[in-house]
Structure 1
Amino acid sequence: MNKKMIALRRELHKYPEVSNGEYQTTDRIVNFINEYKPDEVIRLGDKGVLFVFKGAEQGKTVMFRCELDALPIQEISGLEYASVNKGISHVCGHDGHMAIVAGLAQKISNDRPVKGKVILLFQPAEEVEQGACDVLENVNFKNNEPDYLFALHNIPGIKKHKIVLKKGSFASGSKGMIVKLTGKTSHAAEPQDGISPAGAISQIISKLHRLRADKSLFSDFILLTIIHIQLGEISFGTSPGYAEMRITLRAFENEDLRLLTSLCEKIVKEIAELEGLACEINYTEVFPATMNSNGCVDIVEQAAKQNGLDVEHIKTPYKWSEDFGYYTEKFNACYFGLGSGNEQPQLHNPDFDFPDDIMETGINLFYTIYKSTFSHD
């Protein structure tokens, strides 16, 4: 057991920071990895960072990515290293993912590439989708784009140390749809003098539910979830003139997500027009499906076997979304699962704590992936 990495993981766990506020987390990581003398430390804005280990000759670039951010959830674990930041906690395991990639830096510092370079990417703001987009737009990242890119996520409910793989779609694409409907307020005693969105809301809900149930339109799984509706004001004398709806759209395949988006917009706009309402539609937290390349999945599988690890090829992608999908749109990449235990609390639960005993597995697997990708150069 790598005690140094456990100590780092628990320090990161104790001082979590939410998306776009990971300043101290980044400083901790930079101070820790500087000990292993990377050839370059490249900042991506004021939070993201790349650590580059270079070979003497030109060659391919292999990148490993982890996440810096915690969640706005109050921890209830009672651990001695529990979060000291009220209402913020590492209950997704990003503290463990960071420690694994930091452990990879430790191993690479003693076994640097002969040619090409290996880059460790610590990315902010994964939980809110913005992080990967900002990284991809950063000129310092564009100057260091990978030939191969790998990342892992711990998976509760899967036996510890088991590796979870899937070619093609590994995790759903999703987006938050925001619908704003504007009519005209009136006195509640004279609703005919106004234009209420209430009827439109009712029709939209009904038609969206029928769309969700029609599986013939899509190649694979889709889901839409109505998460929030705000209609009018709490005033019994007023008939409402404004409403907002928020809907999460989800699909295993990016093409299905595009079609679902188009059909939802069509339903909303047609009903709004019939009801005499102005309609505005916006999107937030847009995550493409995470699409693994076959070659990178094969690399991970072979590395897992070399480490004596059990491998499970899942048939169905995960329903949750990951901003790693932005990378898989551009690069040869593999995002895979590392089992964190059958009894492990689920991700985002307030009592979640990343199990220290799977860190060594992650470090060794990443190291084997690093060695195998460079051996093919």
Structure 2
Amino acid sequence: MFLTNHDMVDLIDFRHDLHRHPEISGEEEETARRVVAFLAQLKPQKVLTGLGGHGVAAVFEGAEPGPTLLFRSELDALPIEEKTGAPYASTVAGKGHLCGHDGHSTTLLALGLGLSRQPPERGRVVLLFQPSEENGAGAAAVIADPRFGEITPDLAFSLHNLPGLPLGHVALKEGPVNCASRGMRLHLTGKTAHASLPETGISPMSAIARLMPALTALSRSAPPALDFRLATVTHAWLGEEAFGIAPGDGEIWVTLRTLVDDHMAALCAEAENLARAAAAETNLGLAIGYEDIFLHCENAPEAVDHLVRALDAEGAVHDAGTLPMRGSEDFGRFRAIAPSAMFFLGSGESHPALHNPDYDFPDELIAVGARIFMRVTRDILG
């Protein structure tokens, strides 16, 4: 094992420090600063900062020419109040590292420790700490950054911890592993009125009441069915918070999911048609917007083969598990750049679920993930 007990103490302390100071998508300035400060000890040949926002990339070069491997983690936390009771719990009200991005980034730093002591024989290793994963904006911004050309990979890898799997067990397969998704915002506009004379206004109440079950009814099947799609109403509001006003506008937020990108356009069209029909029937204005756009994540056979060899060499138990999963992942955008693959590292069968207030990343996984990534590096670059 390339990590000493002292290394693990330092890494866990670092992870706990990140955990105390969560920053949500687009706000990861201090998180990035902490990562850069840790990287300074490791003396990579190059460090890029402010990449696609607050992204950081560290480059470890071999002595001989060769391929570039990219290992990616995420910097952002979630706008959820933490309720773990941990001594290192979030100190920021309403925000918490409740998806494990603090652990994923610490895992990359553990890999960096090994590379600082024994660089690859050839090629390059890029450790990418990506911003804004949770809202689907970060990967696109990083790739669009002109400096990304300096670190364009030949292969890209990532991991995500996964509650429900035994601790350290790995789920991995070729093909789609995360669904495409996007947030659809429907804003309905009518005319307010005095609450005693509602007939003099145009209320979106009936349209919203009709649309919520109609949108949900667009769902069908389940992964791995190719025709899987899911519409989940996540938020709705109607009028002002007042008893004296009949509402004149309102919104519905719905998350749309499909197994693959190619099926998303049809689902969006059906949802839009429902909204337009409901608005037209009640003389409402309608504005449609999309946010949090995620492409589906697809594991390339070549990249999966490298991970399988590494897992076997490390004695890690692995299978396809319940993949593909319904959740989305911003890592899917990297498949347009290079063959890529993500594996899912079990955080315990009874571990609290991702995005839950009582979730916390298991520190034991830092060494497990780093060993797998290091094995991939040695197998390919020496």
Unaligned ranges ≥5, structure 2: none
Alignment correspondent of 2:62: 55
SS of structure 1 residue aligned to 2:219 = helix
Q: Using the alignment, how far apart are the partners of 1:209 and 1:92 within structure 2?
A: 26
Q: Judging changes above 3 Å, is the alpha-carbon distance between structure 1 residues 195 and 325 closer, same or farther for their aligned structure 2 residues?
A: same
Structure 2 partner of 1:12: 18
Residue type matched to 1:270 in 2? A
Decide whether aligned partners of structure 1 residues 115 and 153 sit closer, same or farther in structure 2, where only a CA change above 3 A counts: same
Q: Deviations over 1:92-144 (max 9, x none)?
A: 21121111100111111222233321100011121222222221111111332
Partner residue, 1:241: 248
Measured in 1, the distance between the counterparts of 2:113 and 2:20 equals 22
User: More deviation in 157-166 or 14-23?
Assistant: 14-23
Alignment check: 8 A CA contact 1:174 1:250 kept? yes
Structure 2 counterparts to residues 1-377 of structure 1, below 5 A: 1=5, 2-43=8-49, 44=51, 47-187=54-194, 191-212=198-219, 219-234=226-241, 238-374=245-381
Q: CA deviation at 1:253?
A: 1.6
In percent, how many aligned pairs have the same letter?
Answer: 39
Distance of 1:157 and 1:106 partners within structure 2: 30
What is the root-mean-square deviation in Å for CA atoms of aligned residues?
2.3
CA distance in 2, matches of 1:337, 1:197: 43
Q: Distance in 2 between matches of 1:161 and 1:64?
A: 19
| Alignment check: 8 A CA contact 2:220 2:228 kept | no
Q: State the one-letter code of the partner of 1:9.
A: R
Structure 2 CA distance for partners of 1:233 and 1:355, relative to 1, 3 Å: closer
- Whichever residue aligns with residue 371 of structure 2, its letter is N
Q: Alignment partner of 2:330: what SS?
A: coil
TM-score, L = length of structure 1: 0.91
**Aligned amino acid, residue 15 of structure 1:** H
Q: Give deviations 1:335-366, integer Å, cap 9, x for gaps.
A: 11111122322222333222222211111100
Aligned-partner Cα distance in 2 for 1:92–1:173: 18
Equivalent residue of 2:218, what SS? helix
Q: What is the SS of the residue equivalent to 2:288?
A: strand
Length-normalised TM-score, structure 2: 0.90
Count of aligned pairs: 373
Contact 2:82 2:98 in 1 (8 A): yes
Write the deviation string for residues 183-229 of structure 1: whole angstroms up to 9, x where unpaired. 233455655544332333233334324433589xx833211112222
